[in-house]
Amino acid sequence: MKELSLNILDIAENSYKAGASLVQILICEEPDEKDPSDELLTISIVDNGCGMTEEVLSHVTDPFYTTRKTRAVGLGLPFFKMEAEMTGGYMTIESVSETVDPENKGTVVTAVFHQNSIDFIPLGDVVSTVTTLIHGHPDIDLVFRHTKNGKEVSMDTRTVREALGPEVSLSEYEVIQWIEDSLREEYEAF
């Protein structure tokens, strides 16, 4: 993919399909402890969806393995892993299936990228990714947080929903536009 925000969109969509009621997109930029001249970008997508069984988890980064019935390949996670590894980074996946622990089910996908690598793909338009996810899934809560150098850009749909009241949908144009404008304004000061 041309930008990491598209990977985030793809993986978050998987969270929604897994029945998550809460998805968190957490981005952190910080110096590499081993090489302070290198900046690490860590992206985590956390959900409380149905989780994955051990068997699915063992195959999930194989591009020729998918649980979908509409096509024979699943490229989202394999591409995300490859893009992290191309920079000298890595990707991890932790998941608890609802069949194992219904109270603590869910999945955490974390990828670490070395931004100084020539193979680093830019983060891209993460604001559009966040607003697209909210617009497409207005009834599912989304927490977004991007931290760098002690600064933070964040948004939590639970807070927005509480301020708007139950009669206003997060998918309404004015609401989406307000969320987008607010995030872009935060990024200007970032």
Q: Write the CB contacts of 5 (distance below 8 Å, at least 6 apart in sequence).
A: 123, 124, 125, 126, 128, 129
Per-residue pLDDT, 57:
79
- Provide the terminal-to-terminal Cα distance of the chain, rounded to the nearest Å: 25
* Token pair 């999930």 in the structure block, residue: 60
Give per-residue pLDDT as tens, 120-142. 999 999 999 999 999 999 999 99
**Cβ contacts of residue 18 below 8 Å, gap of 6+?**
47, 49, 50, 51, 107
Q: Which amino acid is at 40?
A: L
Contact 112, 38 (CB under 8 A): no
Residues in the chain where the model's pLDDT stays below 50: 70-73
**Cβ count within 10 A of residue 122:** 11
Structural domains in the chain, CATH included, are 4-188 (3.30.565.10)
At 147 the pLDDT is 97
Q: Counting beta carbons within 10 angstroms of the beta carbon of residue 106, is it exposed (0 to 12), middle (13 to 18) or buried (19 or more)?
A: buried
Half-sphere exposure of 76 (CA within 13 A, CB side): 18
What are the distances in angstroms from CA 101 to CA 8, 58, 106, 179?
26, 18, 9, 35
SS3 content of the chain, % helix, strand, coil (to 5): 35, 25, 40
In this structure, is the dihedral angle defined by the CA atoms of residues 35, 144, 51 and 48, taken in order, positive or negative? Answer: positive
Return the residue matching tokens 């639970």.
158
Q: Model pTM? A: 0.91
